[in-house]
Structure formats: structure tokens, C-alpha cells
């Protein structure tokens, strides 16, 4: 089997595992929690207040950022599709030109982009609208395909990972923000967002180590182990 085929198989496995975790958690949150509902994560008998599941739906980009309006949402969904296609082409064409780390990091980015694309493309078609948290309300549920809360490409991305590590205070000598309180870390995100961030960060940090040296032979590449 060629290096390129091995790398593609590895890429498919990485993408599949990340998508399985990402979509599994999103579907659980969508069908078990109400919008705005907050839940501590319990580790054994420890109640960890800075590690929470907090259900929000994001119509836009990663970490809670968004483009306003219907056209902004449509633009973002189409952008995700184009991005995924371009990244897959880059991966296939360069699978045997870089070290294994390149394949893994790029696959992580692709998985993250696909994870959020699935939400925006299909969640509006297969789920009912999630109501805001209040007594007596039930979470969203699956509906017959096409009878959900939004048309194709107009669904909302499910976010739930929330890590409010501390309520901090700017010292009075800090320009502009001196004396103000702030929450760290405020953004609410999901596994797909994290994958994109980790993949991009990995490519940036290790970019010089991911390229094959021109003196490395094909035989040496094969000995690398994929």
C-alpha cells in the first residue's frame, strides 16, 4: 500500500472519531437540555463549578462569533462547504509530501469544519426548535426529515463547553479596563471548534517539522511508519 493511501486511511479514521464524539455530544445536549440550561460536570463526588455544560445555539462562527442576518448565515454555511472541499483536496494531493503530523493536524481541522457544517446543514431539518430554559418545557426532539425548525444550511450550531475559570478584576492601573470585573474564560464552544483551533495551532507550531527534507529518500519516508 502506498504512503498516500495509508495517510488517507489515517485521515478518515481521525475525522470519523472526532465527528463521532462531536455529534454524539451535540445530539445528547440538543435532546436532553434546554437553551440556557447550565449543568456542572460531576467527577465522582466532586462538583466542579468551572467546568460546565451550558447549552447555547450559535448561528455563526466558532466560539460564539456570528455573522448577522440570513445572508450572513448562508454565506458562512457555503464558506464551510468550500473550506472543507479545499482542505480535502490539499490533504489528498499532499498526503505523501509531508510527515504524518501534517495529515493528522489537517484531518483534525477538516473534522472540526465538518462537525459544524453538519449542524448548520441538517440540524434545522431533523430537530424541533429548542425552547429556552423554564419549568415545564421539554428539550428538542427528532422530527421527520425536512419538518424541523429551519431549512437546509440555515440550522444553528450547538455549543455547550463552558469553562468560567475565574471572576477576575483588572487592577486600577490597567488602561481603559482598570477597576472592572471580567470573566475568564467566557466563550462557549464545542468539540468541532476545539478541533479547528488545535489543528491550526499544531500546523503553525510544528510547520517546520512537518515538511520532508529534500534529502530524505522515499525509502526513509516509508520507514517513518505511514
According to the model, what pLDDT value does residue 169 have?
73
According to the model, what pLDDT value does residue 39 have?
85
Q: What is the pLDDT of residues 11-46, one digit of tens each?
A: 999 999 999 999 999 999 999 999 999 887 766 556
Q: What is the pLDDT of residues 166-189, one digit of tens each?
A: 777 778 787 877 778 766 677 899
Q: Are 99 and 210 in contact (CB under 8 A)?
A: yes
pLDDT band at 216 (very low <50, low <70, confident <90, very high): very low
pLDDT band at 77 (very low <50, low <70, confident <90, very high): confident
Q: Which residue has the cell 466563550?
A: 187
193 is catalytic: yes
Split into its structural domains, the chain has a count of: 1
Plot region of 36 (φ>0 → left; ψ -120 to 50 → alpha; else → beta): left
Task: Determine which one of 22, 96, 119, 193 is catalytic.
Answer: 193
Task: Determine which one of 96, 159, 218, 223 is catalytic.
Answer: 159
CA-closest candidate to residue 161, choices 30, 51, 9:
51
Does residue 219 surpass a pLDDT of 60? no
Q: What is the pLDDT averaged over residues 191-200?
A: 96
According to the model, what pLDDT value does residue 65 have?
57
Does residue 72 surpass a pLDDT of 80? no
pTM above 0.85, yes or no: no
Q: Are 169 and 180 in contact (CB under 8 A)?
A: yes
Q: Which residue has the cell 447550565?
A: 38
According to the model, what pLDDT value does residue 68 have?
60
Q: Which three cell numbers stand for residue 66?
A: 456570528
Q: Which domain holds residue 177?
A: 3-223
Q: What is the pLDDT averaged over residues 132-156?
A: 94
Does residue 50 surpass a pLDDT of 50? yes
Give the three-class secondary structure for 18.
Answer: helix
Q: What is the pLDDT of residues 88-108, one digit of tens each?
A: 999 988 877 888 999 999 999
Give the three-class secondary structure for 56.
Answer: strand
**CA separation for the pair 164, 103 (Å, rounded):** 33
Q: Which three cell numbers stand for residue 93?
A: 494531493
Q: Which residues pair with 53 in a beta bridge?
A: 39, 161
Q: What is the pLDDT averaged over residues 75-99?
A: 87
Q: Are 77 and 117 in contact (CB under 8 A)?
A: yes
Please report, in angstroms and rounded to a whole number, the separation of the first and last CA atoms in the chain: 10
Q: Across all residues in the chain, what is the average pLDDT?
A: 85
Q: Which residues pair with 166 in a beta bridge?
A: 184
22 is catalytic: no
Q: Which three cell numbers stand for residue 25?
A: 455530544
**CA separation for the pair 17, 25 (Å, rounded):** 12
Amino acid at each position: 500500500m502506498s504512503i498516500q493511501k495509508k495517510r488517507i486511511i489515517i485521515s478518515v479514521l481521525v475525522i470519523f472519531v472526532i465527528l463521532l464524539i462531536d455529534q454524539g455530544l451535540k445530539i445528547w445536549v440538543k435532546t436532553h437540555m434546554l437553551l440556557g440550561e447550565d449543568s456542572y460536570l460531576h467527577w465522582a463526588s466532586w462538583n466542579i463549578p468551572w467546568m460546565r455544560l451550558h447549552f447555547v445555539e450559535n448561528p455563526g462562527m466558532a466560539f460564539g462569533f456570528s455573522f448577522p442576518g440570513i445572508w450572513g448565515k448562508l454565506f458562512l454555511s457555503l464558506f464551510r462547504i468550500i473550506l472543507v472541499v479545499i482542505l480535502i483536496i490539499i490533504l489528498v494531493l499532499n498526503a505523501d509530501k509531508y510527515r504524518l503530523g501534517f495529515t493528522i493536524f489537517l484531518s483534525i481541522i477538516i473534522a472540526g469544519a465538518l462537525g459544524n457544517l453538519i449542524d448548520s446543514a441538517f440540524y434545522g431539518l431533523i430537530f424541533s426548535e429548542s425552547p429556552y430554559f423554564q419549568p415545564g418545557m421539554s428539550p428538542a426532539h427528532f422530527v421527520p426529515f425536512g419538518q424541523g425548525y429551519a431549512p437546509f444550511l440555515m440550522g444553528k450550531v450547538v455549543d455547550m463547553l463552558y469553562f468560567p475559570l475565574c471572576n477576575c478584576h483588572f487592577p486600577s492601573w490597567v488602561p481603559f479596563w482598570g477597576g472592572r470585573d471580567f470573566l475568564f474564560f467566557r466563550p462557549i464552544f464545542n468539540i468541532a471548534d476545539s478541533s479547528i483551533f488545535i489543528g491550526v495551532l499544531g500546523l503553525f507550531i510544528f510547520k517546520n517539522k512537518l515538511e520532508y527534507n529534500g534529502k530524505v529518500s522515499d525509502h526513509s519516508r516509508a520507514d517513518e511508519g505511514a
